[in-house]
Amino acid sequence: MKIVSFNVNGIRSALSKGLKDWFIEQNPDILCLQEIKLSETELVEPIFLELGYHCYWYPAQKKGYSGVAIISRTAPDNITFGMNIEKYDNEGRVIVADYQHFSLLCAYFPSGTTGDERQSVKMSFLDDIYTFIDQKIKSGTGNLIICGDVNICHTEIDIHNPKSNAKTSGFLPEERAWVTKFLDTGMIDTFRHFNSDPHNYTWWSYRAGARPKNLGWRIDYFFSTGQMIDLLMDAKIHADVFMSDHCPISLELKI
């Protein structure tokens, strides 16, 4: 089974840059999207329906902003929209699909780059999604995958210039400590499970020619619960895909 996660920075924009053809080529079982930036999802849904997929959209209330989606070849047993916390749910941050053998949580974590107010929202979200995931696991969901744009680089090898970004949102000590705490519960950073090399990034600024120079950040992840370790086959970063300021990531499972 292959699952792909991609912050498309606007799904219509990504489709205009070749998303459909790449999607057909990759042939994933599930596609998780972040920043769909589209409320009128009926404008793009036929593209995926014609390919035989089920679509579950969770746009933000604010037009042209945020939003997540799960596009799945097999219909899940259950879909949960949001965390039942209004301030995040209004922004379309989290969607969960429950399948026979595992559950999949697709999330778009807030960014704190626009100032103290949004950084405060981000830190509150980190606490609340930690609790949300913990409750999901305690309810009996042993096989859980979390994917999406976390907007945090965990370690120094996940960012091109750790020293100059030490006080930058996305690499703050308290944000990095949250990822460490999360992994210490037994979660697996699946990419790092297979690859410990530096200079593997998933996001690049549009400024200063960052992408051609590979001046990036690894802020998109697939996490899994520890008990899934024997089901993990491969995790990749598709840095050669140019449809967004992010690139897609994928996870292959023995399911």
Please give the positions annotated as active site.
Answer: 149
DSSP annotation of 140 reads: T
Measured CA to CA in angstroms, residue 191 lies from 73, 124, 162, 226, 248 at distances of 24, 26, 20, 14, 13
Reference 76, options 40, 114, 104; nearest CA is 104
Neighbours of 212 (CB within 10 A): 7
Reference 232, options 171, 191, 202; nearest CA is 191
Q: At 88, list the tokens.
A: 């995040």
DSSP annotation of 139 reads: T
CA 182/CA 20 separation, integer angstroms: 34
Q: With contact defined as beta carbons under 8 Å apart, do 85 and 91 qualify?
A: no
Q: At 50, list the tokens.
A: 């014609």
